[in-house]
Structure 1
Amino acid sequence: MDPFADTLQRLREAFDSGCTRPAEFRAAQLKGLSRFLQENKQLLQEALAQDLHKATQLDSAFIRKEPFGLVLVIAPWNYPLNLSLEPLVGALAAGNCVVLKPSEVSKSTEKVLAEVLPRYLDQSCFAVVLGGPQETGQLLEHKFDYIFFTGSPRVGKIVMAAAAKHLTPVTLELGGKNPCYVDDNCDPQTVANRVAFFRYFNSGQTCVAPDYILCSPEMQARLLPALQSAITRFYGEDPQSSPDLGRIISEKNFQRLRGLLSCGHVAIGGQTDESDRYIAPTVLVGVQETEPVMQEEIFGPILPIMNVRSLDEAVEFIRRREKPLALYAFSNSSQVVKRVLAQTSSGGFCGNDGFMHMTVASLPFGGVGASGMGSYHGKFSFDTFSHHRACLLRRPGLEKVYALRYPPHTPRNLRVLLAAMETRSCSCALL
């Protein structure tokens, strides 16, 4: 028996009825979502704590932004509330019916989203479905009009393959190894403060976190004590007892991360506690490009340092690898930062800071290549979940003017058409 058939049929029937299209309905949905957040702040905080300690002159030309229809949002576990609700806001604002599939890994947040959130939205147009990989696979067998997925590249390929069977468009927000180039012309303590904050935020379980540092051996020698100083100031002499350092989400991820500690040499940190799923803020040196810590996204509080002899070598290293979701460059020279920006490709870029670019609502957030496709945040979320329908409304009269385009194409008519095309800023409106 298909556990999703009734739910999906109900949502599609609701969308086909047109009930999601009025602006008033969309606003009501968003207000309900807002009340959900306001009225359940404590409940959500507790759940999160448990899980993660553009016209022509004679015509009217316009773009009509229409909802796709039935949208599937598949959310991850590392920011289980934010990364469920941010795409949901865009999908609802665009007038879609939505199926939200939260992560089964962040169990407490999943429970709140499933049991409480639907009370605040029109349940004929919204549903939360639960389950693990098997249920998600079964859900993906159905036809959706748009799929928004946040997660790993491995699962992203599965989602895209399932979507391809129905020619369903997708946005894939994936991860990757985000390089952080540190120039010799830097204040090491400033760099260390910013890199450590963004690397160990949420215990490193952030898709845009700096994944590894590229710097000269000389800068490494200056950076290591600065990193140690920053870590101690942020988390104290015993980071395990700090209320500001999270824990690894699961035993499986803990064991994977602990295995990465054998790469290179531990210069800072390295302590672990399996019973607490604790891994100390760690810096690795002497790592090789072929080692696992440089081959897979770390997604934990481990920061490897790779040595390069020059900016050219750093750029070449970055360019021969998959395009990352984010890229960071630190230098007192704006020319160095601009060169890294100009000669590389990434989903986002930030000079002399961590992932603050993703907090600016006027900027799109998304990946490129192996780190994803499509973007969202702010108005970009509304655009992502809307079909941009190109429309032109032409007057029924003026036929003698428009008859110039009909065969036979006399030399005179062709001259007039050519003149029209040369004098207009856009393509010939007679055609």
Structure 2
Amino acid sequence: MQKQDIETILASQRKFFATGKTLPISWRLEQLKKLRASMLRHEEDLYGALKKDLGKSRMESYMCEIGLTLSELTWMEKHIRRLTHEKRVPTPLAQFAARSFQSPTPYGTVLIMSPWNYPVLLTLEPLIDALAAGNTVIVKPSAYAPATSAVMEMIIRETYPPEYVCMITGGRQENQALLTQRFDKIFFTGGKTVGREVLRHAAEYLTPVTLELGGKSPCIVDSTAKIPLAARRIVFGKYLNCGQTCVAPDYILCDVSIKDALLAAIQKEITRQFGDRPLDNPDYGKIINQKHFERILGLIAKEKIICGGESDPSTLRIAPTVLTDVSWDDPVMGEEIFGPILPVLTYSSLDEAIRIVESHPHPLALYFFSEDKKAQKKVLDLCHFGGGCINDTIIHLATSAMPFGGVGESGMGGYHGVEGFKTFSHTRSIVDKKTWMDLPIRYQEYVGWKEKLLRMFLR
């Protein structure tokens, strides 16, 4: 799509927003219901597309994409009236007589840029929040999941007029053309490199931005952990979507005393969940493309493999792989893995583990397996991260009741549920001052009795 075409669409969306048609709650609810109906009509198409792009099974596609998206829709439909209400707040005595309240209002025309790893969830969930808040939206999905993008484009085109919601497909050229435009809000999910570029362009117009990025999310396992259960939950979270999950455990940091037991349990769980030959498992996905396939293989030090390491170039599959005796000097620790490789490092004390985590950029997620309540509190108090779990992995993002987002280099801002509505809204502070009386204290001439009253009011 050419730059002038994007400018035309953006102008039509601004014009549509200016009519006020997106503001009534009844309108917003109707649009959310339309999206649900279209998703359900094309549910089979979405399964097929996710299988083609990422090798996802039907169960995984519903559990991690379609089902979670429908859950956010349900939550928003249930709570939208409460979210849009004005919120009365106390008025200072010095401003008597007045009514003070907070009022949410949509930003206007927003841009949502989504990634390829969970293309349905990470495109439609922020779209739901943006529409619930009353915005018009331009959606730009990743070019790396073309089959899924095609189905979502069909869903959006049949559900909404382009002056309300429009999906623009394509690659780098379209991304650059979009980022040179003036939006009222930009929501980006993806890697740090492109995230910096988004922020740089947004600064040109001082456009507010939400960035959902990533990082090397640690999984700490102490000596009190229930090893078999910890291994089962770590294997699930790490190898879901072939490790192509922004909140997947990037590496294990375990107490040196339980290293051998944990490694044995992890190997057992990989066989239990994926079979003796994971590359033959029809429910095990694939790497998104050749470029990422080769990048991930380049991170595997063959002499450090204790499990896995097999690959199939014809299907872009890499078996669940575990590496041991890994150090921070290894290539696998120099970047976010985003693939089915699990490096295992050790520590001698919890204080050392905390120092290791805190000496690196704040991760998007952190996981801690321990039965020690004091140790749990210590990790939560001293480690900085976007979100996480105690004695589990990744499930903290699967709820509309809690915000999801990063901190520092792993992102800024959040969404889901209330936070999603707030992300796409500006909260106005308004004082409705009454006219039946007017306190003279603030007006000149400033005399002694006024100062005494002011000191009584403001303290």
- Alignment of structure 1 residues 83-122 onto 2, 5 Å: 83-122=122-161
Aligned with 1:406: secondary structure?
A: coil
Distance 2:265 2:30 in 1: 50
Distance 1:299 1:104 in 2: 18
Distance 1:116 1:61 in 2: 42
Aligned position for 2:10? 8
1:74 partnered with 2:101: no
Aligned position for 2:29? 27
Distance 1:40 1:114 in 2: 11
1:283 partnered with 2:322: yes
Distance 2:176 2:372 in 1: 49
Distance 1:352 1:409 in 2: 63
Aligned position for 2:338? 299
Aligned position for 1:254? 293
Aligned position for 1:425? none
Aligned with 1:276: secondary structure?
A: coil
Which range moves more in the overlay, 122-131 or 145-154? 122-131
Aligned position for 1:418? 455
Distance 1:186 1:344 in 2: 19
Please report how far the alpha carbon of residue 263 of structure 1 lies from its aligned counterpart in structure 2 after TM superposition.
6.9
Q: 1:354 to 1:96 in 2, by over 3 A?
A: same
Distance 1:247 1:132 in 2: 22
1:340-381 Cα deviation digits (max 9, x unpaired)? 110010010211110111113211100000000000001211
Aligned with 2:9: secondary structure?
A: helix
Please report how far the alpha carbon of residue 8 of structure 1 lies from its aligned counterpart in structure 2 after TM superposition.
1.2
1:48-81 Cα deviation digits (max 9, x unpaired)? 1111115335321111111101100001000000
1:188-242 Cα deviation digits (max 9, x unpaired)? 1111001011000111110001100111332111111100111111011111122
Given the alignment, which residue of 408, 411, 414 partners 1:369?
408
Gaps of 5+ in 1: 423-431
Distance 1:263 1:417 in 2: 74
Which range moves more in the overlay, 122-131 or 67-76? 122-131
- What amino acid maps onto 1:242 in structure 2? N
Contact 1:341 1:349 in 2 (8 A): no
- What amino acid maps onto 2:441 in structure 1? L
Given the alignment, which residue of 263, 267, 285 partners 1:224?
263
Aligned position for 2:67? none
Distance 2:118 2:247 in 1: 12
Please report how far the alpha carbon of residue 95 of structure 1 lies from its aligned counterpart in structure 2 after TM superposition.
0.7
Aligned position for 2:351? 312
1:161 partnered with 2:200: yes
Which range moves more in the overlay, 113-122 or 386-395? 113-122
Aligned with 1:65: secondary structure?
A: strand
Aligned with 2:138: secondary structure?
A: strand
- What amino acid maps onto 1:404 in structure 2? I
Aligned position for 2:220? 181
- What amino acid maps onto 1:183 in structure 2? D
Distance 2:258 2:308 in 1: 19
Please report how far the alpha carbon of residue 260 of structure 1 lies from its aligned counterpart in structure 2 after TM superposition.
0.6
Contact 1:195 1:210 in 2 (8 A): yes
1:141-188 Cα deviation digits (max 9, x unpaired)? 111000000000110000110111011000000010001111011221
- What amino acid maps onto 1:156 in structure 2? G
Distance 2:269 2:110 in 1: 43
Please report how far the alpha carbon of residue 264 of structure 1 lies from its aligned counterpart in structure 2 after TM superposition.
6.2
Contact 1:267 1:285 in 2 (8 A): yes
1:243-288 Cα deviation digits (max 9, x unpaired)? 3311111110000000011276001111111111111111101111
1:385 partnered with 2:424: yes
RMSD across aligned positions (CA): 1.3
Aligned position for 2:73? none
1:68-111 Cα deviation digits (max 9, x unpaired)? 01100001000000100000001111111100001110010111
Distance 1:213 1:236 in 2: 22
Q: 1:263 to 1:340 in 2, by over 3 A?
A: farther
Contact 1:263 1:291 in 2 (8 A): no
Aligned position for 1:429? none
- What amino acid maps onto 2:377 in structure 1? K
Contact 2:302 2:309 in 1 (8 A): no
Contact 1:70 1:98 in 2 (8 A): yes
- What amino acid maps onto 1:347 in structure 2? G
Distance 1:203 1:82 in 2: 17
Aligned position for 1:56? 90
1:214 partnered with 2:216: no
1:333 partnered with 2:372: yes
Identity of aligned residues (%): 43
- What amino acid maps onto 2:436 in structure 1? G
Aligned position for 1:147? 186
Distance 2:312 2:358 in 1: 37
Aligned with 1:123: secondary structure?
A: coil
Please report how far the alpha carbon of residue 421 of structure 1 lies from its aligned counterpart in structure 2 after TM superposition.
3.0
Distance 1:314 1:358 in 2: 24
Please report how far the alpha carbon of residue 123 of structure 1 lies from its aligned counterpart in structure 2 after TM superposition.
2.9
Contact 2:113 2:188 in 1 (8 A): yes
Distance 1:388 1:371 in 2: 25
Please report how far the alpha carbon of residue 406 of structure 1 lies from its aligned counterpart in structure 2 after TM superposition.
1.9
Distance 1:340 1:127 in 2: 44
Contact 1:73 1:98 in 2 (8 A): yes
- What amino acid maps onto 2:252 in structure 1? I
Contact 1:29 1:122 in 2 (8 A): no
- Alignment of structure 1 residues 118-129 onto 2, 5 Å: 118-129=157-168
User: Hey, which bits of structure 1, 4+ residues long, moved more than 3 A?
Assistant: none
Aligned position for 1:426? none
The number of equivalent residue pairs is 420
Aligned with 2:421: secondary structure?
A: helix
- What amino acid maps onto 1:211 in structure 2? D
Contact 1:47 1:109 in 2 (8 A): yes
Distance 1:214 1:116 in 2: 43
